A and B are shown apart, each in its own frame.
Chain A
Amino acid sequence: MSKALLVAGRELRSFFSTWMGYIICAAALFIDGLLFNAFAISGTPKFSADVLADFFYFASGISIVSGVFLAMRLIAEEKQNGTIVLFYTSPISERQLIYGKFLSALIFSLIILFLSLYMPALIFINGKVSLGHLASGYLVLSFLGATAIAVTLFASTISPNQLIAGVTGALFTVTLLVLWMVSEIVEPPFKDLFAYLSIHNKHFSPFSQGIVNTKDVIYYISITVFFLECSVRALEARRWRG
Chain B
Amino acid sequence: MISVEKLSKYYGGFRAIDNVSFRINEGEIVGLLGLNGAGKSTILKVLGCFLLPSDGKASVAGFSVDENPHEIRKLIGYLPDTPPLYDEMTVRSYLEYVAKLKNVPSNRVKERVEAVMAQTNTSGVQEKRLGELSHGFRQRVGIGQALVHDPKVLILDEPINGLDPVQIVEMRDLIISLKGRYTVVLSSHILSEITRTCDRILIVDKGRLVAEGTEAQLQGRMMQNMKLSCDVESLQGSFDSELRKLEGVTGVELQRGVAAGTDRLLIETDRDVRAAVAAKIVGAGVGLLGMTRADTGLEGVFMKLIKTGEERSHV
- Same complex for A and B? Answer yes
Measured CB to CB, the residues of A under 8 A from B are: 3, 6-7, 10, 14, 17-18, 81-93, 239-240, 242
Choose one: B52, B70, B84, B88; the contact of A91 (CB below 8 Å). B70
A6 pairs with B97, CB closer than 8 A: yes
Closest B residue by C-beta to A17: B88
Provide the bound-state CA to CA distance between A14 and B93, in Å. 12
In the complex, chain B residues whose CB is within 8 Å of the CB of A92? 101
For residue B48, CB closer than 8 A to chain A, the reply is yes
Provide the bound-state CA to CA distance between A240 and B65, in Å. 12
Which of B72-80, B174-182, B193-201, B271-279 binds A? B72-80
B84 pairs with A82, CB closer than 8 A: yes
Q: Mark B76-110, 1 if CB is under 8 A from A, else 0.
A: 10101011111011000000011011110000000
B88 pairs with A90, CB closer than 8 A: no
Question: Smallest Cβ distance from A219 to chain B, in angstroms?
Answer: 34
Provide the bound-state CA to CA distance between A195 and B98, in Å. 45
B73 pairs with A91, CB closer than 8 A: yes
- Report the 5 A-B pairs with minimum CB-CB distance, sorted nearest first: A89-B78, A86-B84, A83-B84, A91-B73, A82-B82
Choose one: A18, A83, A242; the contact of B51 (CB below 8 Å). A242
A82 pairs with B80, CB closer than 8 A: yes
Closest A residue by C-beta to B70: A91
In the complex, chain B residues whose CB is within 8 Å of the CB of A93? 70
In the complex, chain A residues whose CB is within 8 Å of the CB of B80? 82, 85
Tell me the total A-B contact number using a CB cutoff of 8 A.
64
In the complex, chain A residues whose CB is within 8 Å of the CB of B86? 10, 14, 81, 83
B73 pairs with A239, CB closer than 8 A: no
Provide the bound-state CA to CA distance between A7 and B86, in Å. 13
Provide the bound-state CA to CA distance between A138 and B42, in Å. 49
Closest B residue by C-beta to A241: B11
Choose one: B52, B78, B100; the contact of A85 (CB below 8 Å). B78
Given A17-B88, A90-B73, A93-B70: A85 in contact with B50 (beta carbons within 8 A)? yes
Interface of A is mostly: helix
Q: Mark B37-80, 1 if CB is under 8 A from A, else 0.
A: 00000100100111110000000000000000110011010101
Choose one: A6, A89, A239; the contact of B52 (CB below 8 Å). A239
For residue B227, CB closer than 8 A to chain A, the reply is no
Can you pick out 27 interface pairs between chain A and chain B where the beta carbons lie within 8 Å of each other? A6-B97, A6-B101, A7-B101, A10-B86, A10-B97, A14-B88, A18-B88, A81-B84, A82-B80, A82-B84, A83-B84, A83-B85, A84-B84, A85-B80, A88-B50, A90-B73, A90-B98, A91-B70, A93-B70, A239-B49, A239-B50, A239-B69, A240-B52, A242-B11, A242-B16, A242-B45, A242-B51
B101 pairs with A3, CB closer than 8 A: yes
Provide the bound-state CA to CA distance between A87 and B51, in Å. 13
A90 pairs with B102, CB closer than 8 A: yes
Given A17-B88, A83-B84, A83-B85: A88 in contact with B101 (beta carbons within 8 A)? no
In the complex, chain B residues whose CB is within 8 Å of the CB of A85? 50, 78, 80, 84
In the complex, chain A residues whose CB is within 8 Å of the CB of B83? 82
Question: Smallest Cβ distance from A96 to chain B, in angstroms?
Answer: 10
A90 pairs with B101, CB closer than 8 A: yes
In the complex, chain B residues whose CB is within 8 Å of the CB of A84? 84
For residue B208, CB closer than 8 A to chain A, the reply is no
Closest B residue by C-beta to A7: B101
Question: Smallest Cβ distance from B50 to chain A, in angstroms?
Answer: 5
B48 pairs with A89, CB closer than 8 A: yes
Choose one: B48, B82, B88; the contact of A88 (CB below 8 Å). B48
